[in-house]
Amino acid sequence: MSTTTDRLYNLLPTVYRVRDFDQGEPLRALLSLIEQEYSDLEQNIQGLYENWFIETCDEWVVPYIGDLLGVRSLYPASAGTLSARAYVAHALDYRRRKGTAAMLEQLARDVTGWPARVVEFFQLLSTTQYLNHLRPESAATADIRDSSRLELLGGPFEPFTHTADVRRISAGGSRYNIPNIGIFVWRLQDYLIGPIPATAKGPQRQSEARAVATPADGRFTFHPLGFNAPLLNRQQTKTDTTVLSAETNLPGLLRRRPLYDELEALRQSEVDKQPAPPPVYFGQNPVFQIMVDGTLVPFDQIMVCDVSDISATDWRRPSKTQSYTPSAGGPAVKKNIALSVDPLRGRIAFPTGVKPTSVQVSYTYGFSGDLGAGPYDRTNWLNAPATGPAPFNNAKRWQVGVSRRLTAVPKLLFNTISDALKEWNKQPANTDGVIAVLDSATYAEDLSINVPEGSRLLMVAANWPSLRETGAGKNLSLDPNGLRPHVLGKIDVDGTASNSSQNPGQLFIDDLLVEGPLTVVAGNLGALTLAHSTVTPAAGLKVNSSGNSDNSDLVVTLYRSICGPITLSKSIPTLNATDSIISSGPTSSDKDAAITAPGANVNIQTTTVLGTTAARIVDVGNSICTGLVTADRRQAGCVRFSYIPDASQTARRYHCQPDLALTGVTGASAQNAVRARLTPQFTSLDFSQPSYAQLSQRCATEITTGAENGAEMGAFSFLQQPQRMANLLTALDEYLRFGLEAGITEET
């Protein structure tokens, strides 16, 4: 059979290929080797052509092209975090529009990767107006009857004028003056759950709203964990770089008033039998969608309002109809209202007596970065030969899919994870397997996972295009992007290898939101890897042992994950955590235990530990530990470039806070002042909020730039936010007009 590597072989006359076939195809084998070298040369030449252009060049070529254009060098960022490609590509455009507000806004976005909005504060100065230059939009007094405009007070879209402030904007104390330019940036990233597909065969990325009561009483939350979490705007791409960003172009919190006004105008236009106004938030890419019992709710049946508590057991609810008077006069017309939505609380309320059984939602939420369970792309990690899960890279692996929204296929596609695990249990030892969850549904089931000797199982949230499109799974390729399934229940893992086995099984979990506890029961498991996943702080991870079934070879690894308190029995030898958040519980108290591993070597790198840590040996780097850290063996291990309470008992500490700042400080009061100043400040420690575990803007510089590479300590070190801010200041020095001064404000 001819393949793509037979180009040279197929150029030979047929007679030679026939004779070669009769002799076992030695000529074909020879030409296949030559073909490989030819392909390498061809790809190299193609790469050289592509490296001529900034749009297609390799990342290492970007600074060389920038040097040819005389682009000022920026602080380098790690691969996958930030690229200077856009900054170099737009260099000539920057110079043509140097100093304009729209250009500075584009510069801020290109340099930092953060959405940005630029405000020229002289436009907001209250002045005596000249008759030949009237500014009717700059009234000296505010209209306090316009609630929508009042919500914007003090923000990047503020419409009101102010008296002059003579303080410098770069020091953070001023805004409203002639030379002042405000640059507002949004650090929180937006993540889309959805959209709801037009057909059943489309990707099922929408999640299921969480009923507040059992049985359901018509009250739901967008968040599958039942949190009152705010919704974010679904960013609309700005097609014209010469205009400033609007609210719809930025990942800010959704406000009630503009959504309410748009839907009210839609209903009024229907009553008036007039064309609907152009949609802003509910157009081709709506900010949210809701499907009730299999039917998509029309936008004209949604009421946006305050859905607050009216009692301990009920919320404010909408009426089933709303009356509207035609603009041309006539009797009032009643419009049906199916439900109400509160975007600030992430709540859905149905009219009294309406109790749907299934509510599916599409919406956008916010978080600091690609950490924990989320609908972001994880292809690079899964395909990494050294660090990725081994079963994913095995072309001969056993693989099945799980979806609550697709029709089951025997031995290939299941409607519950438990059914897929039953099929896995039928596989022999030494099997590489993958269970792919194909949607973002809620799976209300307790899972029991058996991992035999030599077997490796990966449970991953990923689309399986071949299975979805053809109903067959011949092509095993998966697309790990756009999904966040929710497991409403506990997970028990059992390594079933014999106690004497030298090759116990391994389990990998990628991109699952697990609400219940994750427990490794007494047995013999070789590895448990939790990547891009969330085990809620109220649940946590526990590893048990009993007698000879002590899991004594188990290596527990967390990568880009959020986990509640971790408790390991004394026989567990290793715990690794990288780019993760480990919490002591729902309150994240620094007095409660976050890690209890009396027999383990605990290796914590670029991780935030919210609570105490107790282990046999502790290695910590570029991390934050809010509670005391206690190591039984202090002759081994090292603590570097981290925040760790100075009363902790660890191995030698190097360049750590507050130890470094306390050097040379005498007197108890002075030392306590240093400790108080350097205690990490977080925007929020509420797990339900988008800014969970994000370092506050008030946090000490020694913490926000204290990592070894100059980034912040803790779980979000990989974002390299100090480098982004430094790059923006460097670029502004070149492109800001003479006499102007810029101030940067972090909106989120």
Torsion of CA 135, 136, 137, 143, to 10 degrees: 140
Do 610 and 581 form a contact (C-beta atoms < 8 A)? Answer: yes
pLDDT grade for 27, boundaries at 50, 70 and 90: confident
Q: Compute the distance between CA of residue 379 and CA of residue 237 in angstroms, rounded to an integer.
A: 24
pLDDT tens per residue across span 577-631: 999 999 999 999 999 999 999 999 999 999 999 999 999 999 999 999 999 999 9
- Quote the mean pLDDT of the chain: 89
pLDDT tens per residue across span 312-362: 889 999 999 999 999 888 888 999 999 999 999 999 999 999 999 999 999
Can you give the pLDDT at residue 5? 66
Indicate whether 490 pLDDT > 70.
yes
More confident residue, 171 or 49: 49
Do 74 and 731 form a contact (C-beta atoms < 8 A)? Answer: yes
Indicate whether 423 pLDDT > 50.
yes
pLDDT tens per residue across span 209-242: 999 998 889 999 999 999 999 999 999 988 888 8
Q: What is the mean pLDDT of residues 133-150?
A: 78
Can you give the pLDDT at residue 307? 93
Q: Compute the distance between CA of residue 574 and CA of residue 239 in angstroms, rounded to an integer.
A: 51
Indicate whether 1 pLDDT > 50.
no
| DSSP secondary structure code for residue 642 in this structure | -
Q: Compute the distance between CA of residue 647 and CA of residue 483 in angstroms, rounded to an integer.
A: 43
Indicate whether 80 pLDDT > 80.
no
Burial class (CB in 10 A: 0-12, 13-18, 19+), 374: buried
Lowest model confidence (mean pLDDT) among 95-104, 463-472, 532-541, 644-653? 463-472
Question: Which helix or strand (DSSP H or E) is residue 457 part of?
Answer: strand 456-461
Angle at 42 between CA 36 and CA 47, to 5 degrees: 125
Domain boundaries, the chain: 7-50, 69-173+724-746, 190-367, 370-527+537-554
Can you give the pLDDT at residue 78? 67
3-state secondary structure string across 259-273: HHHHHHHHHHHHHHC
Q: How far is C-alpha 190 from the chain's CA centre? A: 7
Q: What is the mean pLDDT of residues 671-700?
A: 93
pLDDT tens per residue across span 447-472: 999 999 999 999 999 998 888 777 77
Indicate whether 88 pLDDT > 70.
yes
Share of the chain above pLDDT 90, in %: 57
Q: Compute the distance between CA of residue 441 and CA of residue 52 in angstroms, rounded to an integer.
A: 45
Q: What is the mean pLDDT of residues 176-204?
A: 85
pLDDT grade for 509, boundaries at 50, 70 and 90: very high
Q: What is the mean pLDDT of residues 40-47?
A: 87
Can you give the pLDDT at residue 617? 95
| Side-chain half-sphere CA neighbours of 508 within 13 A | 24
Crossing angle between the packed helical segments 101-112 and 721-735, to the nearest 10 degrees: 150
Crossing angle between the packed helical segments 14-22 and 26-50, to the nearest 10 degrees: 130
Can you give the pLDDT at residue 471? 72
Can you give the pLDDT at residue 142? 76
Q: What is the mean pLDDT of residues 718-728?
A: 91
Torsion of CA 310, 314, 317, 319, to 10 degrees: -110
pLDDT tens per residue across span 249-303: 999 999 999 999 999 999 999 999 999 899 999 988 999 999 999 899 999 999 9
Can you give the pLDDT at residue 136? 75
pLDDT tens per residue across span 381-420: 888 766 677 777 777 889 999 999 888 899 999 999 999 9
| DSSP secondary structure code for residue 131 in this structure | T
Q: Compute the distance between CA of residue 87 and CA of residue 65 in angstroms, rounded to an integer.
A: 11
Q: What is the mean pLDDT of residues 419-432?
A: 93
Residues β-bridged to residue 219: 349
pLDDT grade for 2, boundaries at 50, 70 and 90: very low
Q: What is the mean pLDDT of residues 697-726?
A: 92
State pTM to two decimals.
0.90
